[in-house]
Amino acid sequence: MSDAAMTLEGWYALHDFRSIDWTAWKAADDEERAVALDELQAFMKEWTTAEEAGQGSSTVYTVVGQKADFVMFHLRETLEDLKHLENEFNKTTFAKYTTKSYSYVSVVELSNYLGKDGGDPYQNPEIMARLKPILPKNRYICFYPMNKKRDLNDNWYMLSMEERRGMMRSHGMIGRSYAGKVKQIITGSVGLDDWEWGVTLFSDDALQFKKLVYEMRFDEVSARYGEFGSFYVGSLLDEGSFEEMLKL
Ligand code: 76R
């Protein structure tokens, strides 16, 4: 049996994708819409409270195309905290005007392929900042789930640690060449959701997602072993732009 990579885990993650029921939204009266917007704002304000208390981080982005209209991305200490957020949203008046499109449950993960040894990683502030990250405010987000292949000839999980480490090094080098342009959060979801990882990328230039993902496709670990789910891309919403989007 090959050695499993050691992983470090941080905050649990929920990507909660919703679509707007425009017919219902347009049919609502002004008062009902005002209540819905107020409750939405109050719900989003609680995210700031959690972030300031160091208990998590949340953000919301539009989703372009028909897969969804927006995605709320939450990081919290526990699965219960994530379920609570999901329920709190469902209880808002605004939720009546939305439908559920997709969701993804995972946990922020760092692997030991390239890590340095020494000390308790959970006491290392640099590592903790990556395991419990405050979500960036970049203009664009890109999310997709992925697997590493387990075919007869190409089985990632039967490679030796050395082979995997070599490929992850090459992967990390490409990634690092996008430093300052793309931020990534890798969340592990083996045993939690339908794919093995969630990849969440942030950038101020959406074209960088295409360039980075394309470049990685030629790198062995993606070319040979990567399997990908649906891609979701969109732009940052705040209270103001969310309201603007909903204005009739
Ligand atoms: O530098 C380091 O310490 C981390 C190196 C690194 C690891 C271990 C790294 C760097 N990644 C790692 C692990 Mn990644 N990553 C992806 C995708 O589209 C594709 O082809 C793949 C989707 C992208 C775009 C991306 C970007 N990475 C992983 C893992 C877990 C593997 C495992 O455990 O088997 C996955 C699934 C994965 C997928 N990667 C980087 C990036 C970028 C931009 C970097 C540089 C980040 C940085 O330096 O901060």
Q: Quote the strand ranges of 21-172, DSSP E.
A: 56-62, 70-76, 98-111, 140-148
Distance of CA 36 to the CA centre of its chain: 26
CA 111–ligand 1 middle distance (angstroms): 9
Facing residues of 235 across strands? Answer: 140
CA 184–ligand 1 middle distance (angstroms): 7
The question of whether 144 is a catalytic residue gets the answer yes
CA 67–ligand 1 middle distance (angstroms): 25
How crowded is residue 85: how many other Cβ atoms within 10 Å of its Cβ? 21
Sole residue written with tokens 């941080």: 10
List 144, 178, 225, 232, catalytic entry = 144
Q: Which of 223, 216, 224 is nearest to 155 (CA)?
A: 224
pTM of the predicted protein model: 0.96
Residue having the nearest C-alpha atom to atom 17 of ligand 1 = 199
What 3-state class would DSSP assign to 161? Answer: helix
What 3-state class would DSSP assign to 177? Answer: coil
Q: What are phi and psi of 102, to 5 degrees?
A: -175, 160
Contacts of 98 (CB under 8 A, 6+ apart): 18, 19, 20, 21, 69
Name the DSSP letter for residue 117: P
Q: Is the CB of 186 under 6 A from ligand 1?
A: yes
pLDDT-derived band of residue 240, with 50, 70 and 90 as boundaries?
very high
Facing residues of 102 across strands? Answer: 17
User: Does the structure show a pLDDT above 80 at 22?
Assistant: yes
Render pLDDT for 198-210 as a digit per residue (tens, 0 to 9): 999 999 999 999 9
Q: Is the CB of 185 under 6 A from ligand 1?
A: no
Whole-complex ipTM = 0.90
Contact 78, 14 (CB under 8 A): no
User: Which H or E element spans position 241?
Assistant: helix 239-246
Instruction: Ligand 1, residue 182: give the atom nearest the CA.
Output: 43
The residue-averaged pLDDT of 100-114 equals 96
- Residue 147's Cβ-side half-sphere holds a number of Cα atoms within 13 Å equal to 14
Q: Is the CB of 168 under 6 A from ligand 1?
A: yes
pLDDT-derived band of residue 114, with 50, 70 and 90 as boundaries?
confident
Contacts of 28 (CB under 8 A, 6+ apart): 36, 97
Q: Is the CB of 5 under 6 A from ligand 1?
A: yes
